[in-house]
Amino acid sequence: MNNYTNWRYRAAAAIGRWLYGFRMRLERWQDLVDGVASRHDPDQD
């Protein structure tokens, strides 16, 4: 029973870490896209 709880906790922690890293990457990628879009946007000039 304790083993099962430990496995569930470790799985939840791993998923949480992966989601956090994925969100950070997504935000960085979004910043990059926004920067490129604003740089090449003719309306900005």
pLDDT of res. 8: 94
Q: Does 1 have pLDDT greater than 70?
A: no
Q: Does 29 have pLDDT greater than 90?
A: yes
Single pTM value for the model: 0.53
Q: Does 13 have pLDDT greater than 80?
A: yes
CA distances from 27 to 11, 37, 38 (A): 24, 15, 16
Q: Does 38 have pLDDT greater than 60?
A: yes
- Distance (Å, whole) CA 20 – CA 40: 30
Residue 42 counted as domain residue: no
Residue 15 counted as domain residue: yes
Q: What is the DSSP string of 2-45?
A: HHHHHHHHHHHHHHHHHHHHHHHHHHHHHHHHHHHHHHS-GGG-
Residue 43 counted as domain residue: no
Question: How many domains are there within the chain?
Answer: 1
Is 38 within 8 Å of 44 (Cβ atoms)?
yes
In which band, very low, low, confident or very high, does the pLDDT at 44 lie, cut at 50, 70 and 90?
low
Domain that holds residue 27: 2-37
Residue 21 counted as domain residue: yes
